[in-house]
């Protein structure tokens, strides 16, 4: 990716074949698919790439066991279609970004024989539907085998478990990697660029967009023959901006997750809790050195603040603790996040947990706007492929086949599972740093480390005893368009997920490195750090946890004490 100011020049006032609004999973995948088919594309994102739903997923690459049950019980063809497509897309996601994904076994503990039989049959159907896309066959595990793999499971009445395979991924990094791959293919993109209006031809057809740069407040226009709306849960706002009379379609639903230290539930496998009190499933999954627990499902409006609330914490722990030998308490929580599912409403309304995770492509005849709504992360590539077919038709371009089915994403070429070992040897890195760089950047880790060859201090950790190094901050600014401290700590490096308190401690280090790269003044830097710390403290407050003191005010206090 180019530096933001440079890219702004390449986009402002320019003409493109296609403008994609929304730099989440769906929009980024659309932009990549289009650019690889030779369609000159610009991707505009109002906040940061992956700043909304696409970094708030449970991070599972799956067909969806719950949807299987609904497809069978309700004899629902639509659910069946979603499931089979997702099962096939799983494999593409795993193969196209091997550094950001991994296969994972999910154990469903059983305390009644009838559940064992039910699950065993259901998961055999799941395997069968996956066909050649099957990851590994599901199987029954005895009580002993189950406890060997999950020693902290509640043993009382445990009969055994049924194990099945799906995938796991790093959603924020996958999203940024899609954008990076798109720009490598010649596409143009800008974050913090909100579309506020449309340019129109003499009639009502759209011929481009009006954009407000969120950093400078300046407005500029971009011309485009076709515009795609990929704004996820807020798609209705763009649809109604194009044609105010269209009916709302989105039924956003909030899902919250918490992260716990992995030693509360030592395992390399994922736990699936098969039935919650509101008839859903819950996951507890090892992720990035933590146990990720989620999720909730609550219909919200676009105005709802998407933070983990005290009630979410109570709900998640109430269910999780039934499955643990030693219950955990809110004090164990290290971080959390929440997002809104972009569900598309059925005509008759109804409960959001019953809405299919299928996608809908809508071409507005009045304005020509193409909206891609709904879907899930696992199907982002297929959704983009279908959307760009419609774009090609609208452009009147000859049909070109999608290139993305087997297109290895940035950092994925040449990646092997022991790549970290090579980094360790060649750059004399601590093992945990090599693992971290390999998992976040794949073979592009070499580019991060190249920065340190000119300035060895960039090999230093951002926080003592943690794997992330300072070079990642410089790389994030120069090559991944990171603009705020949160862009770096939440989505580029992932430290905000590992620990809210670590993120607060790291903010001054990240802030001062960014200040050097972006020529921030000292007062701007101080404000940026305080603003970030306040934001994390607000997350702690919302979840009902105690606040962390700002490292900036702590260092001021200790300096005052020394005088």
Q: Which residues bind ligand FAD (CB under 6 A)?
A: 21-27, 44-47, 51-54, 56-60, 194-195, 230-234, 238, 255, 295, 339-342, 375-378
Q: CA-CA distance, 50 to 30, in Å (whole number)?
A: 14
Q: Which is nearer to ligand FAD, 375 or 442 (CB)?
A: 375
Shortest reach from residue 466's CB to ligand FAD, in Å: 26
Q: Which is nearer to ligand FAD, 35 or 54 (CB)?
A: 54
Q: Which is nearer to ligand FAD, 37 or 85 (CB)?
A: 85
Shortest reach from residue 439's CB to ligand FAD, in Å: 18
Say if CB 510 and CB 485 are below 8 A apart: yes
Shortest reach from residue 104's CB to ligand FAD, in Å: 11
Q: Which of 384, 499, 385, 382 is nearest to 61 (CA)?
A: 382
Q: Which is nearer to ligand FAD, 46 or 529 (CB)?
A: 46
DSSP codes joined into one string, 440-476: HHGGGHHHHHHHHHH-GGGGSBSSTTSS-BHHHHHHH
- The residues with which 341 forms a beta bridge, in sequence order, are 253
Q: Which is nearer to ligand FAD, 106 or 407 (CB)?
A: 106
Shortest reach from residue 231's CB to ligand FAD, in Å: 4
Q: CA-CA distance, 334 to 22, in Å (whole number)?
A: 30
Q: Which is nearer to ligand FAD, 340 or 506 (CB)?
A: 340
Shortest reach from residue 360's CB to ligand FAD, in Å: 12
Shortest reach from residue 113's CB to ligand FAD, in Å: 30
Q: CA-CA distance, 221 to 548, in Å (whole number)?
A: 43
| Alpha-helical regions (H) of 338-400 | 380-395
Q: Which is nearer to ligand FAD, 52 or 328 (CB)?
A: 52
Say if CB 359 and CB 375 are below 8 A apart: yes
Q: Which is nearer to ligand FAD, 211 or 462 (CB)?
A: 211
Q: Which is nearer to ligand FAD, 165 or 471 (CB)?
A: 165
Residues contacting 496, CB < 8 A, separation 6+: 335, 486, 489, 490, 503, 536
| Cis ω before 314 (30° cut-off from 0) | no
Shortest reach from residue 79's CB to ligand FAD, in Å: 15
Shortest reach from residue 228's CB to ligand FAD, in Å: 11
CA atoms within 13 A on the CB side of 522: 1
Give the containing element (helix H, strand E) for 294: strand 290-294
Shortest reach from residue 338's CB to ligand FAD, in Å: 7
Q: CA-CA distance, 23 to 2, in Å (whole number)?
A: 16
Say if CB 73 and CB 66 are below 8 A apart: no
Q: CA-CA distance, 268 to 310, in Å (whole number)?
A: 28
* CA 146 vs CA 150, 265, 334: distances in Å: 6, 13, 27
């Amino acid at each position: 990716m180019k530096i933001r100011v440079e890219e702004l020049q390449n986009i402002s006032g320019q003409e493109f074949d296609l403008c994609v609004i929304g730099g989440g999973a769906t929009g980024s995948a659309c932009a990549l698919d289009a650019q690889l088919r030779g369609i000159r594309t610009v991707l505009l994102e109002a906040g940061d790439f992956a700043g909304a739903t696409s970094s708030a997923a449970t991070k599972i690459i799956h067909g969806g066991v719950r949807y299987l049950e609904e497809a069978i019980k309700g004899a629902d063809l639509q659910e069946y279609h979603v499931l089979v497509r997702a099962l096939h897309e799983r494999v593409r996601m795993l193969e196209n970004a091997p550094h950001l994904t991994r296969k994972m076994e999910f154990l469903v503990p059983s305390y009644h024989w009838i559940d064992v039989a039910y699950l065993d049959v259901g998961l055999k159907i799941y395997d069968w539907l996956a066909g050649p896309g099957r990851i590994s066959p599901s199987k029954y595990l005895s009580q002993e085998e189950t406890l060997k793999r999950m020693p902290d499971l509640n043993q009382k009445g445990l009969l055994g478990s049924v194990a099945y395979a799906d995938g796991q991924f790093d959603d924020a990094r996958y999203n940024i990697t899609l954008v990076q791959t798109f720009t490598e293919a010649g596409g143009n993109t800008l974050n913090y660029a909100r579309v506020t209006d449309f340019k129109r031809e003499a009639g009502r057809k759209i011929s481009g967009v009006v954009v407000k740069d969120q950093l400078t407040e300046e407005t500029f226009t971009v011309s485009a023959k076709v515009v795609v709306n990929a704004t996820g849960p807020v798609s209705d706002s763009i649809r109604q901006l194009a044609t105010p009379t269209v009916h709302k379609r989105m039924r956003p639903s909030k899902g919250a997750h918490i992260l716990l230290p992995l030693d509360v539930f030592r395992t390399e496998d994922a736990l699936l809790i098969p039935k919650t009190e509101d008839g859903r499933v819950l996951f507890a999954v090892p992720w990035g050195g933590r146990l990720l627990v989620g999720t909730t499902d609550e219909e919200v409006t676009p105005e709802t603040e998407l933070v983990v609330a005290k009630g979410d914490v109570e709900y998640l722990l109430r269910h999780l603790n039934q499955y643990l030998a030693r219950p955990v308490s809110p004090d164990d929580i290290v971080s959390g996040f929440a997002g809104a599912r972009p569900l598309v409403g059925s005509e008759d309304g109804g409960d959001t947990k019953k809405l299919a995770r299928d996608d809908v492509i809508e071409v507005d005849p009045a304005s020509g706007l193409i909206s891609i709504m709904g879907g899930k992360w696992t199907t982002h590539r297929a959704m983009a492929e279908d959307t760009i077919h419609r774009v090609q038709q609208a452009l009147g371009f000859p049909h070109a086949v999608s290139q993305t089915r087997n297109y290895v994403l940035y950092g994925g070429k040449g990646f092997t599972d022991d790549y970290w070992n090579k980094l360790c040897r060649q750059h004399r890195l601590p093992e945990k740093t090599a693992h971290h760089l390999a998992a976040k950047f794949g073979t592009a880790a070499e580019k991060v480390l190249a920065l340190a060859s000119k300035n060895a201090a960039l090999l230093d950790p951002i926080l003592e005893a943690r794997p992330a190094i300072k070079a990642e901050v410089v790389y994030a600014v120069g090559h991944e368009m990171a603009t705020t401290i949160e862009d770096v700590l939440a989505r580029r490096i992932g430290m905000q997920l590992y620990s809210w308190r670590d993120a607060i401690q790291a903010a001054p280090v990240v802030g001062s490195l960014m200040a050097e790269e972006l020529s921030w003044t000292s007062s701007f830097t101080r404000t940026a750090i305080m603003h970030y710390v306040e934001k994390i403290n607000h997350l702690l407050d919302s979840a009902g946890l105690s606040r962390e003191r700002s490292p900036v005010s702590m260092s001021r206090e200790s300096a005052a004490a020394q005088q």
